[in-house]
């Protein structure tokens, strides 16, 4: 989802897919950066299947944790800026909201692997922009909105947890915000659409037959934080998630 939006936003950029470079292979990463000598590297590669990460921990730590360090090392060698995306799941959910300087404490493998990636970047370079975001939806990939629309047709009622809170984020908005952040001072950024909701409230804005339930009633393999609300203290706010959702649903219809 995000990678395609970035490709559309930066049409003249060199675009590398997994078939071009495996970020898990240090020499491949270093060679690619050395050959292309970019001014900016944007890493939109990640293993984002939260529950699957519990069963595939080695891959999760390789892709999300170790590989960003290779990219940072390559960027440092050629003097390139690095933009990297992290997650609200680096936090444990014990607070109702988190600013950029709050101390992380992930409670699942996905969050732990993403935090490892952050730290490996920070250890290897100074000119980085780590963008923590949450609850992504958008064109070109699987997401919660599409899942709700599919299940709504298949089921009389769709059970959705009402005790986990965060901020939905439209990939198109996130990509445009990335362009702005590139020119800001290095550091960690919390970038989401505005507005806090539960997964149930988010679902209810998408379908008419959502039914609330607790996390205890809807057991998932990976534990989720109760609160993963990211607060942006470093840049201007983005539009409300409801406005972004309306645009996404309209664009989705045009593509069908």
- Measured CA to CA, the distance from residue 58 to residue 65 in angstroms comes to 10
61 flagged as catalytic: no
CA dihedral 203, 150, 1, 235 (to 10 degrees): -10
For the record, the structure tokens of 137 come out as: 């939806």
Phi-psi region at 133: left, alpha or beta (left = phi > 0; alpha = psi -120 to 50): beta
Contact 151, 141 (CB under 8 A): no
- Identify the CA nearest to 4 among candidates 131, 114, 143: 143
Residues near 237 by Cβ (< 8 Å), separated by ≥ 6?
A: 194
CA 152 to chain centre: 25
Q: Which of 110, 128, 200, 227 is catalytic?
A: 110
- Measured CA to CA, the distance from residue 71 to residue 23 in angstroms comes to 8
Place of tokens 């203290």: 233
Bridge partners, 41 (sequence order): 82
Give the residue numbers annotated as catalytic, written as ranges: 110
């Amino acid at each position: 989802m995000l990678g395609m939006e970035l490709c559309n936003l930066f049409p003249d950029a060199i675009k590398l897919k997994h078939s071009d470079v495996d970020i898990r292979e240090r020499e491949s990463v270093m060679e690619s950066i050395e050959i292309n000598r970019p001014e900016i590297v944007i890493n939109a590669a990640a293993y984002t299947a939260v529950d699957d990460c519990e069963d595939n921990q080695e891959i999760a730590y390789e892709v999300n944790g170790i590989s960003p360090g290779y990219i940072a090392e390559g960027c440092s060698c050629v003097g390139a800026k690095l933009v990297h995306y992290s997650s609200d799941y680096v936090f444990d959910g014990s607070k109702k909201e988190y600013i950029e300087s709050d101390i992380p404490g992930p409670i699942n493998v996905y969050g732990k692997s993403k935090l490892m990636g952050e730290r490996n970047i920070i250890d290897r370079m100074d000119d980085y922009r780590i963008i923590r975001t949450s609850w992504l939806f958008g064109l070109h990939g699987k997401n919660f909105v599409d899942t709700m629309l599919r299940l709504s047709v298949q089921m009389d009622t769709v059970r959705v947890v009402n005790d986990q809170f965060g901020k939905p984020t439209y990939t198109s908005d996130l990509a445009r915000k990335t362009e702005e952040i590139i020119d800001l001072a290095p550091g960690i950024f919390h970038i989401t659409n505005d507005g806090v909701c539960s997964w149930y409230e988010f679902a209810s804005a998408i379908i008419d037959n959502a039914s609330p339930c607790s996390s205890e009633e809807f057991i998932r393999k990976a534990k989720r934080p109760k609160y993963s609300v990211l607060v942006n203290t470093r840049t201007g706010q983005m539009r409300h998630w409801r406005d972004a959702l309306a645009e996404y649903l309209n664009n989705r219809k045009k593509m069908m």
